[in-house]
A and B are shown apart, each in its own frame.
Chain A
Amino acid sequence: MAEENPGKALEIIKEFANIGAGSAATALGTMLDVDLMNDVTSCNIMPLSQVPEWLGGAEKIVAGTYTQLCGSLKSGILVVLPSESAIMLLKHLTKEQVDLSNLNELQRSCLKEVGNICLCWYLIAVSKMVDIDMIPAPPDATVDLLGAVLDMPLAALGTKVDTVLAVHTCFKALDKEFEGYFLMLPEDQTLKVILDRMESKR
């Protein structure tokens, strides 16, 4: 289906990601006690080499939490926070001074946990919608160049394809300077399953 009508497939996958991201943003907002707004989801099919550029440049410093689905569906999912937002989040949650170049154990773990909660809420919402269980591996977090953070998910996809579908949903706080985005990089097979299921629900 993705080949027959790419425009329609992109619309469907956008709707799918919107619901996931909405649920994740609500969870994150509750935890941080801020009102989070989701921006419109954008998704795009592009060559591997263009993904970092599409997300704002390979040399941006970000905090990334990454996990992979390990059930029947395969996809990489990331929560990416720009460095200022990561500092704000960690300050808020740990009440300590934050030095991104030298995170302590608690802060690192905190970053992972926030990512974990977001990713799980994302998955709960979407798995309900397509009625398939999605099981994430325990995530890991790092603060580094965006290009470097993206390498692993891209390597996982790169074994099979040269072009990927990336689904990207921004979230923003209404009153504070806080933003970030969710990124989903589904494998081809997974994409087909999602599209089929979504189609049959209409």
Chain B
Amino acid sequence: MKEPCVVGIGQLAVCHSPEQLSCLGLGSCVAVILYDPQTRVGGMVHVLLPKAPQKVDMEAKYADTGTRKLVKEMTLNGAVKDRMVAKLVGGAQMFKNLNVQFANIGRFNVLEVRKTLREFPIKIVAEDTEGDRGRSALLDSATGHVTVKKVFSPTRVM
């Protein structure tokens, strides 16, 4: 089988069954995963920050604009908005004792994604978010299953 396509920070990808997409080493970043079970089109965006400023240079870097762009790209690739379901992975707080401006950016990322998904509305069917551990996510577009790997913990399929 072909290697899964890796979605880096601030990147976005859409794939058709049976291709796979993955986000490696998510800390405070969030992977927003959308899936249309009928056409079996899957998409993933790896967002770094919650809210985009007025002038956006890179839409996929921000939770709000990134999520909207992903829905658009999915639609262009044959997915239908009303059938899409969302899964979220990431948004951890890696450095709990650090008292700086961005200490809990992960939580804000997750909240912003949830808020943006409500606009459509797209239902969130599964989440593996927050906490203090990094994660890797793998989307299998043949089934829509998302495999979440954490260091020192068992793998979870959702």
Interface residues of A (CB under 8 A from B): 47-53, 57-59, 61, 66-68, 70, 100-102, 137-152, 154-156, 158-159, 162
Contacts and interface: CB of A to CB of B under 8 A. Distances in A.
Given A151-B48, A154-B48, 10 more contacts: A53-B8, A66-B95, A67-B98, A68-B98, A68-B100, A145-B24, A145-B151, A151-B25, A158-B61, A162-B10
Nearest to B109: A155
Interface of B: 8-11, 24-29, 46, 48-49, 57-58, 61, 92, 94-103, 105-106, 132-136, 151-152
The main secondary structure of chain B at its interface with chain A is loop
Given A68-B100, A138-B99, A152 B94 contact: yes
Contacts of B97: 138, 140
A156 B10 contact: no
Contact of B95 (A47, A50, A140, A146): A140
A150 B61 contact: no
A66 B98 contact: yes
A172 B95 CA distance: 26
A156 B101 contact: yes
Nearest to B153: A101
Contact of A147 (B27, B57, B100): B27
Given A100-B152, A159-B49, A144 B134 contact: yes
A50 B61 contact: no
Q: Which of A66, A139, A145 has the most CB of B within 10 A?
A: A145
A145 B151 CA distance: 7
Given A59-B136, A144-B134, A154-B48, A49 B100 contact: no
18 contacts: A48-B10, A58-B136, A66-B98, A68-B98, A140-B95, A141-B95, A142-B132, A143-B151, A144-B151, A147-B134, A147-B136, A149-B25, A149-B134, A151-B9, A152-B105, A155-B28, A159-B49, A162-B57
A147 B29 CA distance: 9
A49 B94 contact: no
B136 A49 contact: no
Nearest to B62: A158
